[in-house]
Amino acid sequence: MFNRFALVLVFVPLAIVLIALAVANRAPVAFTVDPFNPGNPALTYTLPFFVFLFAALALGMVIGSLATWFRQGRYRKLARQRALEAESLKQAAGRPAPPVADAPTLPRPTT
Protein backbone atom coordinates (compact mmCIF):
# COMPACT_ATOMS: atom_id res chain seq x y z
CA MET A 1 0.00 0.00 0.00
CA PHE A 2 2.76 2.44 0.96
CA ASN A 3 4.72 1.55 -2.17
CA ARG A 4 1.81 2.56 -4.39
CA PHE A 5 1.36 5.77 -2.45
CA ALA A 6 5.06 6.60 -2.78
CA LEU A 7 4.91 5.74 -6.46
CA VAL A 8 2.06 8.15 -7.02
CA LEU A 9 3.52 10.81 -4.75
CA VAL A 10 6.96 10.81 -6.40
CA PHE A 11 6.66 9.56 -9.96
CA VAL A 12 3.47 11.26 -11.09
CA PRO A 13 4.76 14.80 -10.38
CA LEU A 14 8.13 13.83 -11.84
CA ALA A 15 6.46 12.59 -15.01
CA ILE A 16 4.44 15.80 -15.28
CA VAL A 17 7.59 17.90 -14.93
CA LEU A 18 9.47 15.81 -17.50
CA ILE A 19 6.61 15.97 -19.99
CA ALA A 20 6.36 19.74 -19.54
CA LEU A 21 10.12 20.02 -20.03
CA ALA A 22 9.94 17.96 -23.21
CA VAL A 23 7.08 20.01 -24.63
CA ALA A 24 8.75 23.32 -23.80
CA ASN A 25 12.10 22.27 -25.34
CA ARG A 26 11.05 20.55 -28.56
CA ALA A 27 12.82 22.94 -30.96
CA PRO A 28 15.63 21.29 -32.93
CA VAL A 29 19.16 22.08 -31.78
CA ALA A 30 22.43 21.23 -33.53
CA PHE A 31 25.00 19.36 -31.46
CA THR A 32 28.47 19.28 -33.00
CA VAL A 33 30.99 16.69 -31.87
CA ASP A 34 33.91 18.35 -33.72
CA PRO A 35 34.73 21.68 -32.00
CA PHE A 36 37.37 22.62 -34.58
CA ASN A 37 35.06 22.33 -37.61
CA PRO A 38 31.50 23.04 -36.39
CA GLY A 39 30.14 23.05 -39.94
CA ASN A 40 31.00 19.38 -40.55
CA PRO A 41 27.64 17.70 -41.23
CA ALA A 42 29.00 14.21 -40.53
CA LEU A 43 29.66 15.09 -36.89
CA THR A 44 26.65 17.35 -36.29
CA TYR A 45 23.42 15.95 -34.87
CA THR A 46 20.18 17.91 -34.98
CA LEU A 47 17.61 16.69 -32.48
CA PRO A 48 15.01 18.28 -30.21
CA PHE A 49 16.63 19.88 -27.19
CA PHE A 50 14.82 17.66 -24.68
CA VAL A 51 16.56 14.61 -26.17
CA PHE A 52 19.93 16.11 -25.25
CA LEU A 53 18.63 17.05 -21.78
CA PHE A 54 17.35 13.53 -21.09
CA ALA A 55 20.52 11.96 -22.49
CA ALA A 56 22.65 14.14 -20.20
CA LEU A 57 20.45 13.19 -17.23
CA ALA A 58 20.72 9.48 -18.03
CA LEU A 59 24.48 9.70 -18.55
CA GLY A 60 24.89 11.50 -15.23
CA MET A 61 22.86 8.84 -13.44
CA VAL A 62 24.94 6.03 -14.97
CA ILE A 63 28.24 7.72 -14.13
CA GLY A 64 27.08 8.47 -10.56
CA SER A 65 25.89 4.90 -10.07
CA LEU A 66 29.17 3.48 -11.31
CA ALA A 67 31.17 5.83 -9.10
CA THR A 68 29.13 4.80 -6.07
CA TRP A 69 29.45 1.11 -6.92
CA PHE A 70 33.24 1.33 -7.25
CA ARG A 71 33.55 3.44 -4.11
CA GLN A 72 31.64 0.88 -2.04
CA GLY A 73 33.62 -2.08 -3.38
CA ARG A 74 35.78 -2.42 -0.29
CA TYR A 75 32.70 -2.72 1.93
CA ARG A 76 31.20 -5.43 -0.29
CA LYS A 77 34.54 -7.27 -0.16
CA LEU A 78 34.62 -6.99 3.64
CA ALA A 79 31.06 -8.32 3.87
CA ARG A 80 31.94 -11.29 1.63
CA GLN A 81 34.99 -12.07 3.77
CA ARG A 82 32.93 -11.96 6.95
CA ALA A 83 30.31 -14.22 5.42
CA LEU A 84 33.01 -16.72 4.44
CA GLU A 85 34.51 -16.57 7.92
CA ALA A 86 31.11 -17.21 9.47
CA GLU A 87 30.52 -20.13 7.13
CA SER A 88 33.91 -21.66 7.93
CA LEU A 89 33.28 -21.26 11.66
CA LYS A 90 29.89 -22.88 11.24
CA GLN A 91 31.40 -25.88 9.49
CA ALA A 92 34.27 -26.15 11.98
CA ALA A 93 32.05 -26.01 15.04
CA GLY A 94 29.27 -28.15 13.63
CA ARG A 95 26.63 -25.65 14.64
CA PRO A 96 24.81 -22.89 12.81
CA ALA A 97 26.56 -19.56 12.38
CA PRO A 98 25.08 -16.51 14.07
CA PRO A 99 22.81 -14.43 11.88
CA VAL A 100 24.39 -11.63 9.89
CA ALA A 101 22.55 -9.05 12.01
CA ASP A 102 24.62 -10.10 15.05
CA ALA A 103 27.91 -9.53 13.21
CA PRO A 104 29.85 -6.36 14.00
CA THR A 105 28.88 -3.37 11.92
CA LEU A 106 30.92 -2.24 8.94
CA PRO A 107 33.13 0.81 9.34
CA ARG A 108 31.67 4.13 8.28
CA PRO A 109 32.75 5.35 4.85
CA THR A 110 35.26 8.17 4.77
CA THR A 111 34.79 11.15 2.55
Across 1-16, average pLDDT: 86
Which whole-number Å values give the CA distances from 95 to 18, 30, 84, 98, 101, in the listed order? Answer: 55, 67, 15, 9, 17
What local confidence, expressed as pLDDT, does residue 95 receive?
62
What local confidence, expressed as pLDDT, does residue 19 receive?
92
pLDDT at 103 over 60: no
Domains in the chain: boundaries: 2-71
What local confidence, expressed as pLDDT, does residue 47 receive?
93
What local confidence, expressed as pLDDT, does residue 107 receive?
76
- The predicted model scores a pTM of 0.62
What local confidence, expressed as pLDDT, does residue 66 receive?
96
Q: What is the pLDDT of residues 41-76, one digit of tens each?
A: 888 889 999 999 999 999 999 999 999 999 999 999
**How many Å apart are CA 68 and CA 74, to the nearest integer?**
11
